[in-house]
């Protein structure tokens, strides 16, 4: 049975191919649906390179947007230069390197191209912003001074949480960053940090990183209906592995 076109945002995957396949199966995707992946496809569980292969193939038959996350930037730099950031290695990079062990040169070039073309953000026709982490400019993403803020910033989410009790958006005291977009969809900061394993909303900001890298689940959220789907807890799909649980 056909359904109305959906715009679905998918949270941080962190090398969990089993959870991703489970989630895609639950979504029952049709050609009219648009999938927006919010970044951090790699680093954590053992199948980072395999996740990228899967997404490259998924894009061939579906409408997909892949936003760049900080872990994607780390992995892209390593693939291009062979240099591994020490912080990356202790944040899931070792598992990612191992997952690339059996890929040939052509496959690696394809992955570099995949990472290189990822946008830092997307704004849709309804003025909804999709970005991995956030932004710092009070005038919006087009006025951001440092591109790295798009995949490292946590202040937008913290600002939304801290001001969630403020209802008067017309007040001169209301933060300008929270007025610009109809809604903002982010990942980067796991909701499991707040003892939640489901999407969280504060002000008009929706966080769909539900801790798949740690003890949480992988989540997909319909941005119109706010219906969401989740994988099993990812750590249960990878017995004997730690993910990013240290």
Nearest C-alpha neighbor of 121 from the set 100, 103, 147, 146: 147
Domain boundaries, the chain: 7-236
Provide the Cα torsion 139, 141, 143, 147; round to 10°.
140
> Model confidence over 11-54: pLDDT tens digits?
999 999 999 999 999 999 999 999 999 999 999 999 999 999 99
- Decide which of 5 and 206 is more confident: 206
> Model confidence over 108-142: pLDDT tens digits?
999 999 999 999 999 999 999 999 999 999 999 99
Helices (H), the chain: 17-27, 48-61, 70-81, 86-88, 94-99, 105-116, 149-152, 155-162, 234-237
- Please give the CATH superfamily to which domain 7-236 belongs: Metallo-dependent phosphatases (3.60.21.10)
> Model confidence over 78-113: pLDDT tens digits?
999 999 999 999 999 999 999 999 999 999 999 999
């Amino acid at each position: 049975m056909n359904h109305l076109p959906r715009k679905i945002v998918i949270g941080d995957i962190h090398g969990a191919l089993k959870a991703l396949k489970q989630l895609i199966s639950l979504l029952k995707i049709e050609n009219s649906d648009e999938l927006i992946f919010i970044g951090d496809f790699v680093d954590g569980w053992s199948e980072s390179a395999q996740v990228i292969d899967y997404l490259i193939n998924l894009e061939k038959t579906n409408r997909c947007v892949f936003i760049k996350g900080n872990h994607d930037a780390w992995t892209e730099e390593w693939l291009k230069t062979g240099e591994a950031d020490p912080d990356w290695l202790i944040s899931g990079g070792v598992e990612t390197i191992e997952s690339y062990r059996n890929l040939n040169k052509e496959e690696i070039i394809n992955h570099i191209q995949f990472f290189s073309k990822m946008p830092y953000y997307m704004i849709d026709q309804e003025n909804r912003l999709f970005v991995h982490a956030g932004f710092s400019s009070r005038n919006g993403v087009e006025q951001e001074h440092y591109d790295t803020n798009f995949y490292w910033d946590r202040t937008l989410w913290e600002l939304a949480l801290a001001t969630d009790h403020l209802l008067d958006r017309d007040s001169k005291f209301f933060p300008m960053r929270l007025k610009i977009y109809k809604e903002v969809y982010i990942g980067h900061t796991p909701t499991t940090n707040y003892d939640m394993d489901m999407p969280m909303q504060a002000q008009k900001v929706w966080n769909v990183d539900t801790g798949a890298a740690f003890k949480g689940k992988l989540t997909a959220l319909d941005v119109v209906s706010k219906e969401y789907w989740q994988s099993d807890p990812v750590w249960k799909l990878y017995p004997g592995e730690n993910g990013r649980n240290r």
